[in-house]
Structure 1
Amino acid sequence: MSGNTTNRQNVKWVEGVRGVASFLVVVTHLARAFDYPLFWPADNEHASPRLLQLPILRLPFQGRIGVMMFSFLTGYVCAIKPLRQIKSGNTSGALSTLAKSAFRRPPRLLMPATIALVLAWLVTQLDGFSVVKVCDSEWLRNSSPEAKGGILSELGRLFHEFQTSWINGTNAYDPHQWALLPLLRGAFLIYATLFATCYMKFRARILTVFILWAWFWCSSQWKTETFECMFLFGVLLNDIGSEIEFREYVNSRPKRRRIIQSVLIVLGLFVGSYPEGNVQWAAWSRGINHFRFIFPSDHDGPKRWSSVAWHLIALGFWLSPTLQTIFSNKLFMWLGRNSFAVYLTHGTLLRVVLVRFLYGFTTAGYSVENADTEEPTYHWIGRSQNWAVWMVAVPLWFGLLYVVAHLWTTYVDSWCAKCTRMLEEAMFAKEEDEKTTRPEAMV
């Protein structure tokens, strides 16, 4: 590694990993919509596994790990600047950073998410989800909204769903926003932790954060392994990785480091393959299940194993300068910059655009009149059975998704950032160094 990298840890790679996380979330939802048995080790108890049901190969399609990656990266990124200031002795600057970051976080999440919610509401009023509501995918049907009354009633419902998004974490118009409330809460867990430990010595702070991580790991509350543990794990790795002595120690032993990181990543990919259901159908998943004693009672097995997987994989990435360089290239950085936009827009585009590519543009055939009873008979509309249609439709839809996400980041997200800056300027007192700065020096 170069001298510059030794003096300051590479943090760009987390942006690239964020892009991978959003892509995995989308792939997971495609699997849920169109091939749910990918979440099992085989199609049935007596069937041989398909290629994408084998360990490691199944990981991108079975989900769970994508949201955990977002949680980890939130902890890692939120801790970068405050920890850098704390370690340089600028504790007052770190406290100022924490205060401003805590102020910015809610509007930077709420404003784009609310715009996406309103757009999904508009599509609902225009009957844009008509095809998906009668398609043969149960998961798509159950997760798609429909209008239940007139425009005044629907406006009231929109306001109600906005409230439930940030109180209960659910809304009917865009159910994929469920993770935003835990991510918002997690950011404030990080800010509170850094505030409480900012005057501690390095080892005391590491011990404190580790104990807090272990406390959440031993908890059987809802998804602590998905959120709280990952937030704190991100803070831990950032804090340890920013110590020059630690990096010099690791980088001076490249052979051992490569062996350890490879073992961690491969082991993480394997245990992360733990299926969502029907664990007993495969010997490899039964073998993983024998080690469930490391979890608290009343745990969610699939999510716990995905959490273990990302802990191991993240450690492997964190120890590998080569992987960090790969994830810091322009392509992954571009994916990372657009990751939040992909997360916000993919659900509506999936149910409006891709569904029409695969099922057609009409609901004709859903209701067929029965000649004997003269009563309509209903049946779900079937997807295209032509593989060529899928080979064209899915890549075309992914291209559209990332074009829309790029436009969203360029215009919608930048507008939300501008509004947040205006709010901050209006509500925060200027610091002394800002007051004394001459206007001509401000470029």
Structure 2
Amino acid sequence: MLRSLSRPTWGSNLVRTLLPSFVADVLWPDHKPTYKIHPTSYLDGLRGIASVIVFFCHYTEDNFNALVPSYGIDPEKPSGWIQLPYIRIIFSGRPMVHIFFVISGFVLSYKPIKSIHAHQLDKCYTTLASSTFRRAFRLFGPCIASTFMIMCMNQTGILWYPMASWSEQLWNWKNVVFHQITWPWEWDKDLLPGYDIHLWTIPIEFAHSMLLFMVILMFSRSKLRIRQASTFGLMIYCLTCGKWAGFEFLAGMFLAEIHILQAAAQSKAWESSDSAPHISSRLKLLKLLLHLSLIAIGLFIGGWPNHDADKTPGIRWFFAQTPMPWAKMDVLAPQKFWFGLSAAFIVWSVGEVDFIKRFFEGPLAQYCGRISYAIYICHGPMLGLYQRRVLGTEFIPAEGEPGTEGYKTAVAAAGIKGLIGVATTTQKTMGWFLGLCILGPIVVWAADVFWRHVDNPVVSIGKKIENACLDDFETPRSQGYSPAA
């Protein structure tokens, strides 16, 4: 059976195209790609799990908003165990965005800084030029493709509501792409992009990628301690200015250099003929406890509620300690300050705790990492297409008298909510779980197909365009480019 499936036919190619990659790889093992674990693979896994949590967040807020508040915040409304601290992190999507940005700063900095430490400035500049050239393709290309598909679904009535004509719809889509999705001039403002509001982070990601590349270039010829001190100083400057994204990208750069220095020190110790300095078990334990504590604090802060932070036990202490200008900027600024700090410490500590690092290097997390950008892009339209059909509604009785003004007919029970009900917290939690069991595979399937047939090809197109644009004296070279950003 497997032998016959491995023969490349038109039908088998079509089936392989439409199947999730992990299914297709079993049916066609001869075509299964290989993925190697590299020194920063755990960041790919962390980014992948974070993208899944973002999907869980929007699913929960759209369909089970009663589960979003912190546990026990409203005595008149019963709370469920899923709202408890730490557990609620599974649908806390906002802090995951900040983890994305720290990881992007780390990954985009890693190769040029590694070249600086190897005293290969030419390679550093080549890597910076390549990353800068291809950054727009990497970030904007998949979003343009996805919003174009959403636009077509809108106009055909499959998703949301059509406009008066195709020309009007196309013009509207063009304005959204130009003035929102690819508009980097607002720096860290949520532009609420049409067609997919979840893409608000993309122009922020692009603008701060350019800032990061400029900072790396500026300090590429500086002494190590001067570069580290200057980077740390710029991080503090961003915090004092209320610029969370700038802090997070530069924090990623700072952590990347620490990672490179640690790896070099370990390698030197192994290669040295002298015995490496012995680290006592007590010191190892203290280091482990430090990083576990930082992760625990970060996960607790990650459960920061959308509302009533000043009333939530534990969170209200952090809320009260929020410094200026964050305390008075806007209602979301305090959580952004603490999310940024906790994201930097989580990214650092995850790489220092072996058993956590191994989890993010495992097959599940690595698969999520490969399709993470596709999950981020696809989960919104997939929820828009299927969540109401799957979840339905509970029975709603009629209001008023027939024939009188304001009369509303009864709404029949339908979907998971109609089957289970939403009267109690237990029913809501069970409905939340069952809905995920159905919608989760749909989102993963769509993201897997999008990753293979849109996301990856866009990366390849960007590389080909770059090579085509190189001057004759420049020898095209294959620069490794992680989709982590």
Structure 2 match to 1:29: 58
Structure 1 match to 2:154: 124
Q: Structure 1 pair 283/174, CA: closer, same or farther in 2 (3 Å)?
A: closer
Q: Measure, in 2, the Cα distance between the counterparts of 1:20 and 1:280.
A: 29
Normalised to the residue count of structure 1, the TM-score between the two structures is 0.83
Q: Structure 1 pair 49/302, CA: closer, same or farther in 2 (3 Å)?
A: farther
The Cα shift of 1:41 comes to: 2.1
What per-residue deviation string (whole Å, max 9, x for no partner) do you get for residues 288-307 of structure 1?
Answer: 33322476442412222222
Does 1:235 find its partner at 2:242?
A: no
Aligned residues: 405
Tell me if the contact between 1:111 and 1:416 (Cα under 8 Å) persists in the aligned partners.
Answer: yes
The Cα shift of 1:87 comes to: 0.5
The Cα shift of 1:257 comes to: 1.5
Q: Structure 1 pair 51/420, CA: closer, same or farther in 2 (3 Å)?
A: same
The Cα shift of 1:171 comes to: 2.4
Q: Measure, in 2, the Cα distance between the counterparts of 1:35 and 1:303.
A: 24
Does 1:318 find its partner at 2:351?
A: yes
The Cα shift of 1:90 comes to: 0.3
**Structure 1 range deviating more: 418-427 or 245-254:** 245-254
- Which residue identity does 1:163 align to in structure 2? F
The Cα shift of 1:377 comes to: 5.1
- Which residue identity does 2:207 align to in structure 1? R
The Cα shift of 1:424 comes to: 0.7
**Structure 1 range deviating more: 338-347 or 154-163:** 154-163
Q: Measure, in 2, the Cα distance between the counterparts of 1:432 and 1:379.
A: 71
Tell me if the contact between 1:41 and 1:282 (Cα under 8 Å) persists in the aligned partners.
Answer: yes
- Which residue identity does 1:166 align to in structure 2? T
Instruction: Identify which of 319, 339, 360 aligns with 1:306.
Output: 339
Superposed CA RMSD: 3.0
Tell me if the contact between 1:267 and 1:312 (Cα under 8 Å) persists in the aligned partners.
Answer: no
Does 1:412 find its partner at 2:454?
A: yes
Tell me if the contact between 1:38 and 1:62 (Cα under 8 Å) persists in the aligned partners.
Answer: no
Structure 2 match to 1:400: 442
Does 1:213 find its partner at 2:235?
A: yes
Does 1:40 find its partner at 2:49?
A: no
Does 1:191 find its partner at 2:213?
A: yes
Q: Measure, in 1, the Cα distance between the counterparts of 2:300 and 2:407.
A: 50
Does 1:174 find its partner at 2:196?
A: yes
- Which residue identity does 1:156 align to in structure 2? W
Secondary structure of 2:194's aligned partner: coil
Once the two structures are aligned, what percentage of the paired residues are identical? 20
Q: Measure, in 2, the Cα distance between the counterparts of 1:196 and 1:12.
A: 28
The Cα shift of 1:11 comes to: 1.0
Q: Structure 1 pair 217/379, CA: closer, same or farther in 2 (3 Å)?
A: farther
Q: Structure 1 pair 324/228, CA: closer, same or farther in 2 (3 Å)?
A: same
Structure 2 match to 1:137: none
Q: Measure, in 2, the Cα distance between the counterparts of 1:240 and 1:96.
A: 22
Instruction: Identify which of 39, 51, 55 aligns with 2:85.
Output: 55
The Cα shift of 1:382 comes to: 7.4
- Which residue identity does 1:234 align to in structure 2? G
The Cα shift of 1:65 comes to: 0.9
What per-residue deviation string (whole Å, max 9, x for no partner) do you get for residues 91-120 of structure 1?
Answer: 111011101110001011111110100111
Structure 1 match to 2:466: 424
Structure 1 match to 2:165: 150
Normalised to the residue count of structure 2, the TM-score between the two structures is 0.76
Q: Structure 1 pair 392/55, CA: closer, same or farther in 2 (3 Å)?
A: closer
Structure 2 match to 1:4: none
The Cα shift of 1:281 comes to: 3.6
Structure 2 match to 1:259: 289
Secondary structure of 1:119's aligned partner: helix
Q: Measure, in 2, the Cα distance between the counterparts of 1:115 and 1:180.
A: 14
Structure 1 match to 2:426: none
Unaligned stretches of 5+ residues in structure 2:
1-36, 270-275, 421-429, 478-485
Tell me if the contact between 2:156 and 2:162 (Cα under 8 Å) persists in the aligned partners.
Answer: no
Q: Structure 1 pair 432/219, CA: closer, same or farther in 2 (3 Å)?
A: closer
What per-residue deviation string (whole Å, max 9, x for no partner) do you get for residues 185-211 of structure 1?
Answer: 111111111000100111111111111
Unaligned stretches of 5+ residues in structure 1:
1-7, 131-145, 436-443
